[in-house]
Amino acid sequence: MGRRILFLGPPGAGKGTQAKLLARALGVPHVSTGVMLRDAVAEGSELGEKAEAIMAAGDLVPDDLVIALVEERLDRADAACGYLLDGFPRNVLQAEALFRAIGGEAIETVLLLEVSEDELVARLLKRAADEGRSDDNEETIRRRLEVYQDETEPLVAYYGGSVERVYGVGLVNDVFARTMLALTN
Ligand code: AP5
């Protein structure tokens, strides 16, 4: 059985940063719904047009659109031996859809990156200045944090014993070392 790992954590926790490193180390694809949706917006596809304003407001793109996107991605050959999910599932309904899509095959480990709210906001405001992502302004960051607490945090209980907590503050490489350690638990 391949490796099926999922990253959970609030906006700015470092899911994308760590998922990229881990995907390279394990040789499995990094499947990020945020990246796929931003690509769709940049391409101006029908999905991108539907998602753009919702993402800029910090709300969740409708479940049916995101679930279809992930199902199509996980059907590709490179995901046959495992994958690393980043940003999906984002609520219990998406988690149930994932469970059905992968035919009950277990998610091996759920890595939960833990970072204080002050640090999250500081990281995202810094990225706003460096890269100009449309959802990295203070108002939208607050909304993304709220959505995380209301919609996504319940997944910690949903995945229960599969969740490994990783302290996400410090040098990227130190967080990565903790992530690798958590996978051996
Ligand atoms: P998404 O792209 O998933 O954004 P997010 O969850 O808000 O996460 P971020 O990308 O901001 O943070 P991250 O935890 O990945 O951290 P990163 O490594 O980037 O989603 C964006 C939007 O798309 C959603 O709001 C929603 O609208 C939509 N969407 C996506 N998935 C969806 C779904 N399943 N259903 C519905 N809608 C969906 O790091 C953040 C910053 O911190 C970077 O600048 C990085 O360089 C820096 N950093 C990383 N690690 C460290 C460190 N150790 N120390 C200091 N800085 C660090």
Per-residue confidence (pLDDT) for residue 103, from 0 to 100: 78
Q: What is the mean pLDDT of the chain?
A: 95
Q: Is 143 a catalytic residue?
A: no
| 2 confidence band (pLDDT: 50, 70, 90) | low
Work out which ligand 1 atom sits closest to the CA atom of 148.
Answer: 6
CB 111 within 8 A of CB 182: yes
For residue 69, give Cα distances in angstroms to 27, 60, 154, 177: 22, 14, 22, 31
For residue 156, give Cα distances in angstroms to 7, 140, 151: 11, 23, 11
Give me the helix-helix angle, 92-101 and 63-74, nearest 10°: 30
pLDDT higher than 90, residue 1: no
More confident residue, 81 or 55: 55
Ligand 1 binding pocket mutation candidate from 18, 33, 144, 149 (most atoms within 8 A of CB):
33
CB 159 within 8 A of CB 1: no
- Residue 103 falls in which region: left (phi positive, over 0), alpha (psi -120 to 50) or beta: left
